[in-house]
A and B are shown apart, each in its own frame.
Chain A
Amino acid sequence: MSPTDRPASLSRRFTVAVAVASLVGVGLGALLLDAARGGQQRARAERLAVVSLNALTAVVDRVWGSEDTKEGEGDFGLGDELAALEQPAETTKDPGAAIRGAVDSFAAAHSEAVAIRVVALDGARLVASTADRAAPAPRRLSVDEKAIFDLAQSLRAAVAGNREGAEGAARAEEIAVERRGGGLLSVAGPVERHGVVVGMVQMETRPAAAKGVFAWLVTLLALIGPTLVFLLLSRVAGERRRALALVGAALVIAALALFGRTALGTLSAERFATEEAVAARVAEEGAKTGLSPAAWDVDRFRQPQPAPEAAEERDLRRMTRSVLTLSVFALLLLAYVGFGGARRSWRAMVDYHVAYAYVTPAILGMLVLVFFPFLYGFALSFTNANLYNSDQSVFDLWVGLDNFIDILSDFKFAQRTPEGVVYDYTNFYWTLGFTVVWTITNVSIGVSLGLILALILNQRGFRGKAFYRVLLILPWATPTYITALVWRGMFHQQFGVVNQIVQIFGHAPIAWYDSPLTSFAAVLTTNGWLSFPFMMVISLGALQSIPGDLYEAARVDGAGRWQQFRSITLPSLRPALVPAVIISVIWTFNQFTVIYLVSAGQPAGATEILVTESYKLAFEQYRYGYAAAYSVIIFLFLLAYGTWQNKVTKGTEAIAG
């Protein structure tokens, strides 16, 4: 569209563009800010509840401890255990009465605590409870309360695991936090004696509703300000496109920057309120219980909370990133509407609405379940996402190209040791090499067997053609997963029929999956079995379409069999075989089922191909980011191959159709 086209509408169109860009940009920003504030308020409620829980735990711990020392002789863990062993669980002196007293007085002092339970793991007993009036403590936990017992168990496992866990291993949460319906917050922490978790304290609270100020005035200004100012300035700028675009962009960015500053202030105020409230709660609990509140304000791992400055800095970083992203988005929107893209799209939508109506469902499905997953996987490949941090956003886990560098720069697939060369079968280059060998051997076997059989069946006067054809095609008809499992059974070391045959020839049974070579033989046999019929059918079709007169003429000219084959048969096969080879290269390269079900990569990943390795990284090791990077590399290989073969077959023009 030329600038002179309907000049009168230019400033009007840019006004609409500025309005849309600022409304959407700031509007989304307001939604994000609201979510961030909500998150902070929830975090505050959680911290306050954890402080109270730790105070309660300390109280319970003191009472539990006093009973304990009265009962035992010394403070030796072994003595306690022996004492517990000597006495049956029933008669073990229950420190319950003192605990119940402590819990009741704690509950009386805390109106926001709806329910408090103390559970002893030994004997699955409910030691104290302020909630279960119908069946008051002390008693055994009932079957319905299995969830409570499981929670206590998991806390014990978490504490023990974190103590034993190697440095840097993912830690498990030692305080369980659960949001219940009706604004209830349930927190639970372990009770320890001599370093062993013996019970659990659980508290349900109803946190006071959080109040906060939302900077309505600034938000409103950022929302509609740019449009109003633009209306004035556009008079000055006149109908010049570039000037209008620049003014609009500056206004939208200014509005977003203003909003970002305010949002940062709001979050900062929230954080300040949180720190204040927590400090007040700690002091209050210390006073109420008369205990030292040294380590009460902790996170779910019972580690000290990070310094507020670090959190502040993280907020600033996030906010900057959000505002930048929003600005880019808003500017794109501005350009799209301002330069007429939106109007052209709209016109196309109206003009071709029937066509779009027909394709929309399919395109929507593809966007959500094919293209978005692809882009998401692509983004994941730049992160260190794994099972334990999958609740964090992609940006927080960003590691740039680290995964790719890790994968591609590790050339140590073979190492010389005193015992000889040791291979690292999980190395990328080993797997890549194996995949290439696997693909080439399989396709060669498939093509040669298929072609030979097709040539045989195509012999003039060959009897039983239909019989052979039907039986030889069976492997293709068999579902691949069944084929794979059947061959795995037949290669079984002790009972498989393959080893029975081996033994007929006097050889000892072979452990097929114990060495890379025999394991390769097993998967190759399986895949060869299921892949040659495809090639046979394709070749047979092509052979049958060669007119018989060609051979007749060649014979008249005195051409021999080999000459006929080379100058008539092979050239006629080419157009059918080339696409078939291309597609079977891609199939074999991605032949997940056979490898995964037959050899499962044994031994030690030696017969893993790229796709099965990346599946295992994702779903057995849960290294989502690393596995995604692996898959992106596979995609690049396939893309390169596709581009190359496209050039070779010059098939692109067919697409325009």
Chain B
Amino acid sequence: MRDKRSGELPHWPLHVFALLMVGITVYPILWVLTIAFSGGQSLSIADLPPDPSAADRLRAIAPWPEQLSIENFRSLFADQPFARWLGNSVIVATLTTVLGIVLACTAAYAFSRFRFPGRRAMLMSFLVSQMFPGTLTLVAIYIIVVQWLHLGSTYVGLVLVYATIAIPFCVWMMKGYFDTIPRELEESALIDGASQATIFFRIILPLAKPAVAVTALFSFMTGWNEFILAATLMDREAMYTGPVGLRFFVSGYSEQWGYFAAGSIVAAIPVMALFMVLQKYLVSGLTAGAVKG
């Protein structure tokens, strides 16, 4: 029999590799921080002399600004309409979450607790709908929302679209959780004379609080980060959401990388923190969905 240690690889090359990967993952984030705190709008970290040496070039990639300044953050809120765009995102994402949760909870409860004609077909259609390419429905959604309902560049239009698009994922996730709540609870409540509504609101929902919270946070993040629909449906500058506004800073002939970097940090930090807390739920939800789909 071999020695126990001989089967192990030495750890230091693994550390080197892991550290290299950490460098690659962290560098773009440090780069954004550098640009944001540089106080300027330039893409480059340092101005290069006409005939730069290798040391100059190294300086130009080192993620530390030439001078530290919070001017970009101040100006972002004082001179640019970013507060307005962020506010739009807050409103849209919050309303999406509320509406999405109401729609998903009720439907998921019915799918979990009742056996009724059409149940299987509905659940299947939810899954198939996940396969519809966004661009196919996008043209029709644009025509329906903007040309027929005249809801272009309004909160209502975008919220309705976000909330419905999130339904299948939320329903499958909530249904999975409802399935784990024992039926005996409801049966004894029924015997005690409670109505269906009472059971749902007083017994099931309080028990499902963790699932509701997780689903809510995920729909909030979807509404907060979504880009394509917002860019398509919100074409008035005052109605831009955060993502559309951030792209506005660096698209076309506009090269305001300082504003973009500062805005990205403001917009991304809350959702990144949320994500770090919630990622283990997301993983289980996604893989469960994939196995079923």
Contact = CB atoms under 8 A, between A and B. Distances in A.
A369 to B, nearest CB: 4
A137 B81 CA distance: 43
B201 interface: no
A371 B243 CA distance: 27
Contacts of B119: 355
A458 to B, nearest CB: 11
Nearest to B24: A529
B243 A479 contact: yes
Contacts of A501: 57, 61
Given A638-B131, A638-B133, A377 B139 contact: yes
B106 A373 contact: no
B57 A479 contact: no
Contacts of A651: 291-293
Point out which of A370, A453, A619 has the most chain B C-beta atoms below 10 A from its C-beta: A370
Contacts of B283: 537-538, 541
Interface string A450-483: 0011001101111110001011111111111111
Contact of B139 (A500, A538, A597, A618): A618
B268 A478 contact: yes
A459 to B, nearest CB: 7
Contacts of B110: 354-356, 358-359
Contacts of B238: none
A478 B227 contact: no
A583 B164 contact: no
Nearest to A638: B131
A505 B72 CA distance: 33
Contacts of B179: 657
B164 A655 contact: no
A432 to B, nearest CB: 14
B212 to A, nearest CB: 15
B67 to A, nearest CB: 18
Given A352-B117, A634-B136, A489 B250 contact: yes
Interface stretch (B5-13, B90-98, B181-189): B5-13
B44 interface: yes
B272 A377 contact: no
Given A359-B122, A489-B250, A582 B14 contact: no
Contact of A374 (B132, B142, B164): B132
Interface in A345-367: 348, 352, 354-356, 358-359, 361-363, 365-366
Which one of A362, A370, A649 has the highest number of Cβ atoms from chain B below 10 Å of its Cβ?
A362
A124 interface: no
A265 interface: no
Interface in B1-29: 1-2, 7-9, 11, 14-15, 17-18, 21-22, 24-26, 28-29
A501 B31 CA distance: 14
A649 B291 contact: yes
A635 B8 contact: no
A638 B129 CA distance: 11
B14 A486 contact: no
A456 B14 contact: yes
B276 interface: yes
B207 interface: no
Nearest to A612: B135
Contact of B44 (A356, A485, A495, A635): A495
Contacts of A213: none
B171 A631 contact: no
Interface in A10-25: none
A457 B18 CA distance: 9
A376 B290 contact: no
Contacts of B156: none
Interface in A482-539: 482-483, 485-490, 492, 495-497, 500-501, 503-504, 529, 533, 537-538
Interface string B129-156: 1011111111111111001000000000
B129 A479 contact: no
A490 B133 contact: no
A624 interface: yes
B204 to A, nearest CB: 11
A430 interface: no
Contacts of B42: 495
Contacts of A133: none
Given A479-B268, A582-B290, A635 B18 contact: no
B135 A476 contact: no
B123 to A, nearest CB: 6
Contacts of A457: 18
B214 to A, nearest CB: 16
A636 B225 CA distance: 28
B253 interface: no
Contacts of A136: none
Give the contact-size bracket for chain A: 35 or more
**Majority secondary structure of chain A interface residues (helix, strand, loop or mixed):** helix
Interface string A236-258: 00000000000000000000000
A460 B7 CA distance: 11
A561 interface: yes
Nearest to A455: B14
B289 to A, nearest CB: 8
A651 B143 CA distance: 36
Contacts of A463: 11, 15
Interface string A112-146: 00000000000000000000000000000000000
A201 interface: no
Contact of A492 (B43, B144, B246, B264): B43
Nearest to A367: B164
Contacts of B243: 479, 481
Interface string B155-168: 00000110111011
A460 B264 contact: no
Contacts of A561: 7
B144 A628 contact: no
Given A627-B135, A657-B179, A473 B276 contact: yes
A437 interface: no
B74 interface: no
B57 A634 contact: no
A372 interface: yes
A481 B31 contact: no
Contacts of A358: 106-107, 109-110, 114, 200
B291 A365 contact: no
Contacts of A479: 224-225, 243, 267-268, 271
A380 interface: yes
A611 B107 CA distance: 31
Contacts of B163: 365
B220 to A, nearest CB: 13
Contact of B11 (A462, A470, A592, A618): A462
B102 interface: yes
B122 to A, nearest CB: 7
Contacts of B43: 489, 492, 495-496
Contacts of B26: 471, 474
Given A471-B26, A638-B133, 11 more contacts: A358-B109, A362-B104, A380-B139, A390-B147, A459-B11, A477-B275, A480-B225, A489-B260, A503-B52, A649-B291, A657-B179
19 contacts: A354-B110, A359-B110, A370-B129, A374-B129, A378-B136, A380-B140, A476-B279, A477-B272, A489-B43, A489-B250, A495-B44, A504-B58, A555-B2, A561-B7, A579-B291, A597-B247, A619-B232, A638-B133, A651-B293
Of all A-B residue pairs in the complex, the 7 with the closest CB atoms, nearest first, are: A631-B136, A373-B140, A358-B110, A579-B290, A355-B114, A362-B107, A495-B43
Interface of A: 348, 352, 354-356, 358-359, 361-363, 365-366, 368-374, 376-378, 380, 390, 449, 452-453, 456-457, 459-464, 468, 470-483, 485-490, 492, 495-497, 500-501, 503-504, 529, 533, 537-538, 541, 555-556, 558, 561, 576, 579-580, 582-583, 586, 590, 592-593, 596-597, 611, 614-615, 618-619, 624, 627-628, 630-632, 634-635, 638-639, 642, 646, 649, 651, 654-657
